């Protein structure tokens, strides 16, 4: 199958007790949706669509960014509406710096979405009716408090029109 694109992501890890953001029934619904739709664990997308021609350079750069480097911390700072979904807003200055370096390296090859302003977030719910998304947003906001989490690693994934396929994974020290 023809390679369509390559995506770069940062994997987010939180201790179990830090993920108590949602009422139990919403978590159960999210887990069910995750089983149906999600291809990847909780993550921050650094770039949505990179050309296949940069695969080896991207792998090399991600390895350089993580090798021997302590895992950066991130702050789950709030919630945001995606219109047809909900996400946790993430503040991650160290990850923004990494993304900035990659942005410069691949500047001439980026889509407008990837070249534009980055809004780091972890999607909780997506592709649902807006009324359902608003209900989840209200429920999550009622119990929300900011949390510190760790960025465990960087990865790149092939998108081939169906399931995602891991290209490379690089863990922080």
Each residue's pLDDT tens digit, 92-149? 999 999 999 999 999 999 999 999 999 999 888 889 999 999 999 999 999 899 989 8
Question: Is 83 part of any domain?
Answer: no
Answer whether residue 69 shows pLDDT above 70: yes
pLDDT score at 41: 67
Radius of gyration for the alpha carbons in the chain, expressed in angstroms and rounded: 16
Task: Tell me what the pLDDT averaged over the chain comes to.
Answer: 82
Question: Is 35 part of any domain?
Answer: yes
Q: Write down the number of H helices and E strands in the chain.
A: 5, 7
Question: Is 26 part of any domain?
Answer: yes
CA distances from 121 to 3, 60, 92, 107, 115 (A): 26, 25, 10, 22, 17
Contact 44, 120 (CB under 8 A): yes
CA distances from 105 to 54, 109, 163 (A): 10, 9, 27
Question: Is 139 part of any domain?
Answer: no
Q: Phi and psi of 139, rounded to 5°?
A: -65, -40
Question: Is 12 part of any domain?
Answer: yes
pLDDT score at 160: 79
- Per the DSSP assignment, residues forming a β-bridge with 6 are 50, 158
Question: What is the total count of domains within the chain?
Answer: 1
Question: Is 131 part of any domain?
Answer: no
pLDDT score at 1: 40
Task: Give the domain range for residue 114.
Answer: 5-74+92-118+151-171
Answer whether residue 161 shows pLDDT above 80: no
């Amino acid at each position: 199958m023809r390679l369509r694109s390559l995506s770069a992501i940062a994997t987010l890890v939180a201790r179990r007790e830090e993920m108590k953001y949602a009422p139990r029934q919403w978590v159960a619904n999210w887990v069910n949706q995750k089983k149906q739709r999600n291809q990847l664990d909780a993550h921050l997308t650094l770039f949505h669509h990179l050309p296949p021609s940069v695969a080896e350079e991207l792998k090399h750069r991600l390895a350089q960014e993580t090798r021997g480097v302590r895992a950066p911390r991130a702050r789950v700072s709030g919630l945001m509406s995606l219109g047809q979904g909900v996400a946790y807003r993430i503040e991650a200055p160290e990850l923004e710096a990494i993304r900035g370096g990659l942005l410069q390296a691949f500047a001439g090859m980026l889509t407008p979405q990837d070249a534009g302003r980055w809004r780091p977030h972890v999607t909780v719910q997506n592709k649902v009716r807006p009324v359902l998304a608003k209900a989840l947003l209200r429920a999550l906001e009622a119990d929300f408090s900011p949390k510190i989490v760790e960025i465990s690693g960087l990865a790149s994934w092939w998108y081939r029109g169906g399931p995602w396929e891991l290209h490379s994974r690089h863990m922080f020290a």
